[in-house]
Structure 1
């Protein structure tokens, strides 16, 4: 996955990372957050806490995309105070998925999971209003 830095220091993903991120989003996130990322997924009425509008992350963070926070939320889940995770911990899921591949080492599975999370973050960055 290639990345480059722009003059303002913002991280941008190449097209292949965005395609992978969009695909992962559709397969894992859209059911709750909606196809458009606004929090209008198919199961929203079944959830205790409504899913966030992912298209306004930059706006809610004062204009800058909160890259690290979004990465950590996907990797480790989102917790309210000291309660349970409000969304799945995708880092563990992606690692377990990679470990199912024949001959995959734990270190390689970690790298694959990190790449999948990064591609999701890049995709979310690309859909900001």
Structure 2
């Protein structure tokens, strides 16, 4: 019963967190993960100009324009789902980027400091921190 309540609580907490500005520590962890895992395609500044991204058939998105391209509102849930990648987003077809949710889960399960029962929450935290960092990159012009 505890897991059911916990599972139901996660989307509610994510919605509340999405409605509040990211804290500095959220963006710092997200920046670290982003620079380590995402910048090779999306570029260090999020402009879609990473060294590997230039080799892809379809250029990676300019992550700084996500809010601008979405009527001025940062698409928090869509960005979260895109990074997670474990469930296909309707209309998006096959994902063009790695499934980071699976990578983070493997990483969490291999970490002896993480209780396997808590691995899912560790993964959610890592993804949220990256989303907060990407949100901090948004330009308004």
State yes or no: 1:55 paired with 2:92.
no
Which residue of 87, 91, 98 corresponds with 1:88?
98
Give the TM-score taking structure 1 as reference length. 0.85
Cα–Cα, structure 1 residues 37 and 103, in superposed 2: closer, same or farther, change >3 Å?
A: closer
Which residue of 4, 17, 38 corresponds with 2:47?
38
Cα–Cα, structure 1 residues 10 and 104, in superposed 2: closer, same or farther, change >3 Å?
A: closer
Q: Which has the higher helix share?
A: 2
- Segments of 5+ residues of structure 1 without an aligned counterpart are none
Cα–Cα, structure 1 residues 80 and 53, in superposed 2: closer, same or farther, change >3 Å?
A: farther
CA displacement at 1:104 relative to structure 2: 3.5
Give the TM-score taking structure 2 as reference length. 0.78
Task: Compare 37-46 and 57-66 and name the one that shifted more.
Answer: 37-46
- Segments of 5+ residues of structure 2 without an aligned counterpart are 1-13
Runs of 4+ in 1 over 4 A off after TM superposition: 77-83
- Over the residues paired in the alignment, what is the CA RMSD in angstroms? 2.5
1:15-46 deviation line (CA, Å, top 9, x unaligned)? 11110000000000000000110000011232
State yes or no: 1:122 paired with 2:132.
yes
Number of residue equivalences: 124
CA distance in 1, matches of 2:54, 2:89: 20
